[in-house]
């Protein structure tokens, strides 16, 4: 059973738009993960202030190696959020790019077919 070229082109375009949309969703999730990471990194934690927004001349001023604030920070959670953003960004970028390329390819094929049709009937 053979499908018509129009049906094949429509299915190809629909699949490409679906890929692009999923890529955009995954990139949005990546952005949300980065915002969460920034929130966790920049907000005060426990009884300690954020190391970025400190009144000390440097972030390490007045700290010792066995500082209780350094022990309070939940680094595995921060690194987990950051690590989770890597595969979502890679897969999202690949899906978005391949979907966009498929849409452009489909539009080019449709324009080419239209030129061929007008050339067959007009010339």
| CA distances, 74 to each of 26, 46, 52, 54 (Å) | 26, 10, 16, 19
Q: Is residue 1 part of a domain?
A: no
Q: What interhelical angle do 5-42 and 75-122 show, nearest 10?
A: 160
Domain assignment of residue 109, given as a range: 7-122
Q: Is residue 20 part of a domain?
A: yes
Q: Is residue 92 part of a domain?
A: yes
| Residue 62 to residue 90: CA distance in whole angstroms | 40
pLDDT classification of 1: cutoffs 50, 70, 90: very low
Q: In 3D, which of 97, 43, 98 has the Cα closest to residue 74?
A: 43
| Residue 118 to residue 123: CA distance in whole angstroms | 8
Minimum mean pLDDT among 16-25, 41-50, 60-69: which range? 60-69
Q: Is residue 14 part of a domain?
A: yes
Count the domains in the chain: 1
Q: Is residue 102 part of a domain?
A: yes
Q: Give pLDDT tens digits for 55-91.
A: 665 555 555 555 666 666 777 888 899 999 999 999 9
Q: Is residue 104 part of a domain?
A: yes
Q: Is residue 78 part of a domain?
A: yes
Q: Is residue 118 part of a domain?
A: yes
């Amino acid at each position: 059973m053979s499908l018509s070229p129009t049906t094949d082109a429509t299915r190809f375009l629909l699949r490409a738009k679906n890929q692009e949309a999923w890529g955009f969703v995954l990139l949005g999730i990546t952005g949300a993960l980065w915002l969460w990471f920034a929130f966790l990194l920049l907000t005060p934690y426990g009884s300690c202030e954020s190391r970025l927004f400190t009144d000390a001349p440097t972030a390490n001023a007045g700290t010792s190696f066995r500082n209780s604030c350094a022990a309070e920070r939940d680094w595995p959670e921060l690194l987990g959020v950051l690590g989770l953003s890597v595969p979502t960004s890679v897969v999202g970028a690949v899906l978005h790019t391949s979907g966009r390329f498929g849409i452009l390819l489909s539009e080019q094929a449709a324009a080419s077919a239209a030129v061929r049709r007008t050339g067959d009937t007009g010339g």
